[in-house]
Structure 1
Amino acid sequence: MQPVVHLVVGYCCYAAYTRFDRGEPPSIAPAGVAIVGAAVPDLLDKPLSSASVVPVGRTIGHSLLFAVPLVLLLWLLARRFDRSHLGVAFAIGYGSHLATDVPWHVISGDYHELGFLLWPVTPMPAYTGVKPLGTIPGVGLEATTLWLEAVIVVVGIVVWWLDGRPGLGMLWQAIDR
């Protein structure tokens, strides 16, 4: 999944949680924390892969062996400072990233690429990238996972817009300075 799509999914998952839990759209700080949580796996792994520290771009940050202790530690810290809602937001964002990296491999049958979930216990082969989903009948055009990701981004923008565009006012204030 493309990195920006993870951010959108992280926001949407947290927005769904706040709607279910409190019946209201997310506030700015926890929504931002959820987005940061959704970015962390790629922020850790992509630079390490580019620097040839790890073999591929889905290793440490994408491994449950790292993610679970990190999320638990941050949730405990947030709870200690009476900010458990931020710990929950981070967990939702981070978890959404890992969860949304799984379906493309399952749909395409590339189960061996799920090794990232338990890396380094399980090997992680090179990521094969965009997955084909099939051919559109009568047109001969191949649909790929990028198409679904584009739909996810559009839906995410609509959700964010309907939620009152949290964070936009703060962004405009920062630009005006």
Structure 2
Amino acid sequence: MWPWEHLAFGYLLYSAWTHVAWRRSPRGAEALVLALATQFPDLVDKPLSWGLGLFPQGYAIGHSVLFAVPAAAVVAAVALRHDRPDVGVAFAAGYVSHLAADVLSPALKGQGLGFERVLWPFVTFEGYESDVGFAGRFTLYVGRYLHEVTQPEYLPFLLLYLGMLLAVVGLWVLDGAPGIRSLLGVLRSRSPDV
């Protein structure tokens, strides 16, 4: 899945959770932590595989439930210690949503569920046919994606896909666009005084 797909899926689940469990929309810090957590497994595994060659594929320690559960527990404990359990829940939700999406996504292509993607080190993948480095691997995937979405037979799927992404953006806007003010505050606090 692409980063924006992980983000949309994670936000949809987390927004539903906050509305049902806490009767409110997600808040700024939660939304930022959620956004980071939905990318976390790829931020760990892709550089370790594509850039450093430590793993044969981009599904390894960051995607492993054996790493995800303790990592989410540690973040939740730290968040609780700082009296921000909502942030800990947001991290866990984002991380778990990424893993769930990676398990579910092969089924969308008729390939069944991809549980093997989250079972490292018990399941490992064969290495790539060629070692093209991080930039090369990224360029390869983007090129393949752009080729697919520009094919005429792909148009109905593309329209449905864009509609679903826009629906999640609409939900985020209805929730008050959480995270924007927090992000702007962080950026302002880090900019040098002129």
Which residue in the other structure is 1:167 paired with? Answer: 179
Task: Report matched runs for 1:77-92 at 5 Å.
Answer: 77-92=78-93
Pick aligned residue for 1:157 from 165, 169, 186: 169
Q: TM-score, normalised by structure 1?
A: 0.79
Which residue in the other structure is 2:19 paired with? Answer: 19
Question: Are 1:38 and 1:96, in contact at CA under 8 Å, matched by a contact in 2?
Answer: yes
What is the distance in 2 between the residues matched to 1:144 and 1:119? 36
Question: Are 1:41 and 1:97, in contact at CA under 8 Å, matched by a contact in 2?
Answer: yes
Identify the structure with the greater strand proportion.
Answer: 1
Aligned CA distance change for structure 1 residues 149 and 67 (closer, same or farther; 3 Å): farther
Aligned residues: percent identity? 38
Which residue in the other structure is 1:39 paired with? Answer: 39
Identify the structure with the greater helix proportion.
Answer: 2
Question: Are 1:6 and 1:38, in contact at CA under 8 Å, matched by a contact in 2?
Answer: yes
Aligned CA distance change for structure 1 residues 13 and 126 (closer, same or farther; 3 Å): farther
Query: SS of 1:61's equivalent?
Result: helix
What is the distance in 2 between the residues matched to 1:106 and 1:91? 24
Q: TM-score, normalised by structure 2?
A: 0.73
Which residue in the other structure is 2:134 paired with? Answer: none
Query: SS of 2:123's equivalent?
Result: coil
Task: Report matched runs for 1:73-112 at 5 Å.
Answer: 73-111=74-112
Higher mean C-alpha deviation, range 88-97 or range 158-167: 158-167
- Offset, 1:23: 1.7
1:8 aligned to 2:8? yes
Which residue in the other structure is 2:49 paired with? Answer: 49
Aligned residues: 169
Higher mean C-alpha deviation, range 61-70 or range 114-123: 114-123
- Offset, 1:77: 2.0
Question: Are 2:102 and 2:114, in contact at CA under 8 Å, matched by a contact in 1?
Answer: no
How big is each residue's C-alpha offset from its partner over 1:109-142, in whole Å with a ceiling of 9 and x where there is no partner? 4358532211110123469x889xxxxxxxx824
Question: Are 1:102 and 1:114, in contact at CA under 8 Å, matched by a contact in 2?
Answer: yes
Query: SS of 1:141's equivalent?
Result: helix
Which residue in the other structure is 1:67 paired with? Answer: 68
